[in-house]
Amino acid sequence: SDSVWGSAVGGLLTWEPFDFGLRGSSVHEAEAGVRRARSDETVTKLGVQNAVAIAFLAAVGAQQALTAADADVQRREVLARAARVLVENELRPGAEASRAEAELAAARTRAIQARQGLVIARNTFSQMLGIPGGVVDVNASRLLDAIPADRAACTLAAEHPLLQSSQAAVVLARAREAVLAKTDYPRIYLQSSVFGRGSGGNPDGNFDGGANGLGLDHANWAAGVQVVFPNVFDFSSLHARQAAASALTRAEGARYDESVLTVTAQQRAAEAMVDAARAIAQNTPIQLAAAQESESQARARYDAGLAGIVEVAEAQNLLAGAEYQNGVARVDVWRSLLARAIAQGNLAPFVELLRPSGVK
């Protein structure tokens, strides 16, 4: 029933002098994961920038549509007043006043729809900017003064963030496959141990009593080599994981090839969009001038009693369409330039065009 104090303390040091490449493969896998995450971050940023720019240009286009619709309403109000005066003076049949009122009502409907589209576009733009309760207005007067000069340099397809992300995914898959290929290699450890002990009991059965045994009376050390053979009884499971990793590497490689085709096609389509948008923007002023001249001549013929209200209405319809197309054409140039920048994966050339020196 007597008690005795005993103590023991020790330390074990394990060192793996070589690992047949497993540690390096694990480090490479981790680094590949970091590169993949950063590439995905770049792709996400590009998508957010694209969404904001699209929302901004949509608001600008809605403004141009509303401007054209308001101008059309003003012209038709003038025509409707003139038609009413002529009908009241029995110089024109009453059907012409009715036709003018109908055209005016249709123009007002289009203006209401254009105003609704502008409100929706502004709300979408504020949502993209992260301003849920704020009122966002856009001022694109300088943006539409002239067709922007094309100073954008071509970016190599390999530098596109989407391709870099796909390439990083391929590297990561290969790194994981390399780690699995080395997991069944033996693990060799050098181990050393230092330990000490103390006891208040003696070999003859006597107890020292008191606090004896709390101190370390004897010390020793040990050294050895440990060899571990992992996956000895899990070979089939490891083989299945290696097969899955190999299939994933091939799949990521196929996705990379698909991304190359996608980016290349987008760049070619964007270049075609830029060329077409510039050509249209250069042609719409000619169309607008001709429509203005046609509307002016039709009004003059109507005032002189040489033409009917139908001819004036058709001329005003043509002018309204030309004004809308002329205003939207310049916005479409910016849309095409944005599409090209997104296809190249770099918005810096597009932002540079937005600077004062970017428009000539």
Q: Quick one: how far is CA 46 from the chain centroid?
A: 4
- In this predicted structure, the answer to whether residue 155 has a pLDDT above a threshold of 70 is no
pLDDT digits (tens, 9 = 90+) for 45-81: 999 999 999 999 999 999 999 999 999 999 989 888 8
Confidence of residue 153 (pLDDT cuts 50, 70, 90): low
Q: Count Cβ atoms within 10 A of the Cβ of residue 100 and give its class: 0-12 exposed, 13-18 middle, 19 or more buried.
A: buried
SS (H, E, C) 85-151: HHHHCCCCCHHHHHHHHHHHHHHHHHHHHHHHHHHHHHHHHHHHCCCCCCCCCCCCCHHHCCCCCCC
CB atoms within 10 A of CB 147: 16
Tens of pLDDT, residues 96-108: 888 888 989 999 9
CB 145 within 8 A of CB 281: no
Q: What is the DSSP letter of 208?
A: -
Q: What is the mean pLDDT of residues 106-130?
A: 91
Burial status of residue 164 (CB atoms within 10 A of its CB: 0-12, 13-18, 19 or more): buried
| Rg of the chain over all Cα atoms, to the nearest angstrom | 40
Q: Is 334 exposed, middle or buried (0-12, 13-18, 19+ CB in 10 A)?
A: buried
Give the pLDDT band (50/70/90) at residue 359.
Answer: very low
pLDDT tens column, 203-214: 777 877 777 878
| Cβ(131)–Cβ(79) below 8 Å | no
Q: Give me the pLDDT at residue 356, please.
A: 60
Place of tokens 């409907």: 109
Q: Which two tokens stand for residue 21?
A: 């490449």
The lowest-confidence range among 188-197, 281-290, 325-334, 349-358 is 349-358
The answer to whether 324 and 26 are in contact (CB under 8 A) is no
Q: Give the closest residue to 87 by CA, choosing from 313, 79, 106.
A: 79
pLDDT tens-digit readout, 168-179: 999 999 999 988
Contact indicator for 8, 213 with CB cutoff of 8 Å: no
Contacts of 318 (CB under 8 A, 6+ apart): 291, 294, 295
The distance of Cα 311 from the centroid of its chain, to the nearest Å, equals 49
Q: Which H/E stretch holds residue 183?
A: none
pLDDT of 358: 42
The two tokens of residue 276 are: 């077409």
Query: Please, are residues 211 and 250 in contact by the beta-carbon 8 Å criterion?
Result: no
pTM above 0.85?
no
